[in-house]
């Protein structure tokens, strides 16, 4: 971490937040993830990029077991993921996830969306959960929408609610699965700003995104995937200015060249 | 082309347009008639043809209703009165059969001195369901409760309920109204206890019998909860069920008998065979409706389960039940079941029919709800999972509220079907209001040949009840609409 571009970023710890070893996954006979090895430190921010179908979403969905893997080890926060459903629920409650399509609960108000899991999973009293929820809704700058239903909000607002909903569980790690891909250009910025603020707060983040500006601004490390494998892994500085692999160069020329 | 564009394309708006009101819609009856009925030669022709058909229908039906006789002691007398009033050969309805035999259409052969019991049970049912069905709208809840309490109390008085019973029913209504107003969550306890109260009031006998049955459920629940606290929910459930069965079979009846000896509290017993008419239809229909929904939900979830054994069992059950006509199941209930039960077992016929109707409705319900589950985007499951909710929490808080909301039209359709299908109990010799009860009344010489009137009367009541269910479904859909699509 000697690059000047990273000097301003708070250094992350040496503790391991997520450790992935020799991870393999198949959809039927299709080999989606091949021998993935990845270690994420506490406080580290990682951006995963790559062409569609490269397995990047599948990779982060394995971390909270929305997808099952067939071989390899995933250790999250010191707990190894097994088939034990209690173990998986425990890890999911420590790992927040933000989805491309928000996945808010349309039958609950914004506030209820944010308090549901703290009340039922963490067993926090309703009043306290509501205070926490309002705190995070203020953080994402939509406290005045708390009593509306998700369907009444714009896409950008919904995604910020989704971020607040995850934060209400006080997660140790946040996963972002293309959080801005379903948004209009004008709304992308408000979501990215929220994510940048979150990053500045020292959250451990793993983001699958095509927002290369975001990667350059906050990532400690960029991982480039293709055909289910990690092709290149580097600091954003090196990754964008001095890519090593031909596949990375091609990818960058395609997404940055217009 | 390009020269033209070069001059016209640059454009900068300096003032933004304010939003304007939409144009006023033209209205008026004459305008509506002209637009909808007489807009062209073909439409004028069709309108006139429609009016002619309507006239033909009304002009033939009206005399029949208009000549209706309400006061007569037999169909012969009816015909005589009509002939006297409107001349020989005039047709007319003989609603006197309804006037004279309404009690049998409503209560069957239920003893007349106890008519107040089903009436009070019906009134109390509203107090059991209103806190659930109308939980949001206070005004609607009180309208329903006031109307049903006043009506059923007045009916109890008119049907000659004894003073003590009137006092108890009246006090019950007032107490429940207060409970619903001041402690709505406690009022739900009454909704749970209501079925046991209803069984006692309808069939009579010792009060402690239904209490003992209830105690069995409480025992199972307590053991299950205890097991769940020590992390052995499944074992606790199995033990609880076993304990409840043991209680019901062995200890419960003896405890009930002892309690009856200590504190005698009993109503005159009424045989299941004397139930009939709408009392029977409502008893079977409401029980079937209330029990088939939870069973259907469980079956629908089981069919979507990842556990192969659970899924296979659910599929087999659903496909088997849906594959046979309801009448087959009713015959099984009435005849075949006796071969399998130990001799001398007295397994109530209405209970057997209720079980079969419930299973039948649950299989359809499961498929309706499965449709709702399938309509939910995968993201809802993932959103719930990613927050660490357990399977049952996710189902209860996220998935089912939405899936059931989507399925409301189908669920209510199934409910209406179940209620109307209760008339099929005629095939196992129960006195359903539509056929068996009417046939029985027609079997007396006085009313031989009165076909239309009972059908119209029964049909009207069925229509009112089913239409009410359908309207309630629409109200519920509107109330639960939060997606703003």
3-state helix, strand, coil in chain A (%, to 5): 40, 25, 35
Range of the domain at B72: 62-100
Q: Do B397 and A116 touch (CB under 8 A)?
A: yes
- Check if the beta carbon of residue B156 is closer than 8 Å to that of residue B206: no
Residues 6+ apart with CB under 8 A from B316: none
Token pair for B280 = 């029977």
B402/A contact by beta carbon, under 8 A:
yes
Q: CA–CA separation, A206 vs B7, rounded Å?
A: 52
| Nearest of B96, B91, B81 to residue B60 by alpha carbon | B91
**What is the arrangement of strands in the sheet containing A173-177, beginning at the earlier edge strand?**
A95-98, A173-177, A204-208, A45-49, A221-226, A229-234
B268/A contact by beta carbon, under 8 A:
no
How many domains is chain B partitioned into structurally? 2
Q: CA–CA separation, B274 vs B108, rounded Å?
A: 6
Write out chain B's pLDDT in tens, 485 residues: 455 555 667 788 888 888 888 877 767 778 888 888 888 889 899 999 999 999 999 998 888 888 888 888 899 999 999 999 888 878 888 999 999 999 999 999 999 999 999 999 999 999 999 888 888 888 989 999 999 999 999 999 999 889 999 999 999 999 999 999 888 888 899 999 999 999 999 999 889 989 999 999 999 999 998 888 887 778 888 888 999 999 888 888 888 888 888 888 888 999 998 999 999 999 999 999 999 999 999 999 999 998 999 999 999 999 999 999 999 999 988 887 777 777 766 778 899 999 999 999 999 999 999 999 999 999 999 999 999 999 999 999 999 999 999 999 999 999 999 999 999 999 988 999 988 899 999 998 889 888 889 999 999 999 999 999 999 999 999 988 877 65
The domain ranges of chain A are 16-103+172-256
Say which of A66, A101, A152 has its CB closest to residue B386.
A66
In chain A, what is the greatest distance between 2 CA atoms, to the nearest angstrom? 55
ipTM of the complex, rounded to two decimals: 0.91
Q: Is the pLDDT of residue A144 over 90?
A: yes
Q: CA–CA separation, B201 vs B119, rounded Å?
A: 10
Local structure of B409: helix, strand or coil? helix
Say which of A107, A151, A169 has its CB closest to residue B387.
A169
B167/A contact by beta carbon, under 8 A:
no
Q: Do A106 and B393 touch (CB under 8 A)?
A: no
> What CATH code is carried by the domain that includes residue B446?
1.10.3720.10
Q: Do B389 and A120 touch (CB under 8 A)?
A: yes
Q: Is residue B16 a part of any domain in this protein? A: no
Q: Is residue B301 a part of any domain in this protein? A: yes
pLDDT of residue A232: 93
Q: Is residue B219 a part of any domain in this protein? A: no
Q: Is residue B80 a part of any domain in this protein? A: yes
Task: Please identify among residues 10-69 of chain A the ones whose CB lies closer than 8 Å to any CB of chain B.
Answer: 64, 66
Q: CA–CA separation, B119 vs B99, rounded Å?
A: 18
Q: CA–CA separation, A227 vs A53, rounded Å?
A: 7
Say which of A106, A121, A152 has its CB closest to residue B388.
A121
The pLDDT tens digits of the residues spanning B420-473 come to: 999 999 998 899 998 889 999 999 888 988 888 999 999 999 999 999 999 999
Q: Which of A67, A88, A118, A120 to mutate to test the interface with B (most CBs of B within 10 A)?
A: A120
Give the class (CATH, top level) of A16-103+172-256: alpha beta
- Check if the beta carbon of residue B405 is closer than 8 Å to that of residue B480: yes
Q: Is residue B40 a part of any domain in this protein? A: no
């Amino acid at each position: 971490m000697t690059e000047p571009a990273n000097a301003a970023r708070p250094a992350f710890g040496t503790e391991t937040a997520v450790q992935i070893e020799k991870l393999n996954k198949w959809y039927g006979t299709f080999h989606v993830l091949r021998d993935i090895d990845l270690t994420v430190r506490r406080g580290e921010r990682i951006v995963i990029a790559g062409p569609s179908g490269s397995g990047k979403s599948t990779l982060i969905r394995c971390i909270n077991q929305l997808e099952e893997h067939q071989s390899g080890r995933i250790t999250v926060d010191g707990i190894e993921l097994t088939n034990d459903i209690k173990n998986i629920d425990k890890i999911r409650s420590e790992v927040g996830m933000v989805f491309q399509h928000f996945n808010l609960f349309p039958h609950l108000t914004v506030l209820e969306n944010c308090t549901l899991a703290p009340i039922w999973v963490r067993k926090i009293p309703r009043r306290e959960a509501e205070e926490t929820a309002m705190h995070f809704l203020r953080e994402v700058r939509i406290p005045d929408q708390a009593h509306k239903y998700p369907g009444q909000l714009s896409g950008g607002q919904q995604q910020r609610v989704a971020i607040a909903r995850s934060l209400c569980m006080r997660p140790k790690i946040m996963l972002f699965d293309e959080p801005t891909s379903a948004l209009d250009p004008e709304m992308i910025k408000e979501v990215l700003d929220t994510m940048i603020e979150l990053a500045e707060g020292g959250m451990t983040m793993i983001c699958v995104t095509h927002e290369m500006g975001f990667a350059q601004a906050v990532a400690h490390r960029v991982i480039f995937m293709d055909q289910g494998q990690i092709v290149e892994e580097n600091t954003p500085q090196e990754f964008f200015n001095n890519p090593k692999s031909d596949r990375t160069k091609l990818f960058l020329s395609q997404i940055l060249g217009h | 082309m390009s020269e033209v564009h070069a001059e016209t394309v640059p454009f900068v708006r300096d003032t933004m347009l304010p939003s304007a009101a939409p144009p006023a819609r033209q209205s008026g009856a004459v305008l509506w008639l002209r637009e909808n009925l007489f807009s062209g030669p073909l439409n004028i022709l069709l309108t006139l043809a429609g009016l002619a058909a309507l006239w033909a229908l009304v002009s033939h039906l009206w005399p029949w209703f208009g000549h209706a006789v309400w006061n007569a002691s037999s169909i012969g007398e009816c015909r005589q009165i009509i002939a006297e009033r409107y001349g020989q050969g005039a047709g007319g309805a003989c609603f006197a059969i309804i006037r004279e035999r309404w009690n049998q259409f409503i209560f069957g052969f239920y003893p007349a001195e106890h008519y107040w019991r089903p009436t009070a049970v019906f009134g109390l049912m509203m107090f059991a369901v209103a806190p659930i069905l109308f939980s949001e709208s206070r005004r609607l809840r009180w309208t329903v409760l006031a109307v049903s309490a006043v009506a059923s109390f007045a009916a109890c008085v008119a049907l000659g309920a004894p003073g003590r019973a009137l006092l108890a029913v009246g006090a019950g209504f007032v107490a429940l109204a207060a409970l619903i107003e001041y402690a709505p969550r406690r009022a739900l306890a009454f909704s749970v206890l209501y079925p046991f109260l209803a069984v006692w009031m309808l069939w009579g006998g010792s009060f402690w019998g239904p209490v003992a049955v209830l105690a069995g459920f409480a025992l199972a629940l307590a053991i299950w909860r205890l097991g769940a606290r020590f992390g052995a929910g499944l074992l606790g459930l199995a033990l609880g069920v076993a304990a409840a069965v043991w209680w019901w079979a062995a200890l419960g009846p003896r405890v009930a008998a002892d309690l009856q000896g200590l504190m005698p509290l009993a109503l005159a017993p009424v045989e299941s065979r004397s139930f009939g008419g709408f009392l029977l239809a409502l008893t079977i229909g409401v029980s079937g409706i209330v029990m088939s929904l939870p069973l259907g939900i469980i079956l629908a979830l089981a069919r979507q389960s990842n556990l192969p054994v659970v899924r296979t069992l659910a599929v087999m059950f659903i496909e088997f039940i849906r594959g046979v006509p309801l009448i087959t199941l009713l015959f099984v209930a009435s005849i075949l079941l006796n071969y399998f039960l130990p001799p001398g077992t007295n397994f109530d016929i209405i209970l057997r029919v209720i079980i079969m109707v419930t299973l039948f409705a649950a299989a359809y319900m499961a498929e309706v709800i499965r449709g709702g589950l399938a309509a939910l985007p995968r993201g809802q499951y993932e959103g719930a999972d990613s927050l660490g909710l357990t399977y049952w929490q996710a189902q209860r808080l996220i998935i089912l509220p939405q899936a059931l909301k989507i399925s409301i039209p189908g669920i209510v359709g199934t409910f209406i079907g179940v209620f109307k299908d209760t008339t099929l109990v005629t095939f196992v010799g129960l006195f359903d209001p539509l056929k068996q009860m009417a046939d029985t009344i027609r079997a007396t010489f006085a009313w031989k040949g009165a076909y239309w009137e009972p059908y119209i009367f029964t049909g009207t009541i069925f229509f009112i009840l089913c239409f009410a269910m359908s309207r309630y479904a629409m109200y519920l859909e509107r109330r639960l609409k939060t997606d703003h699509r």
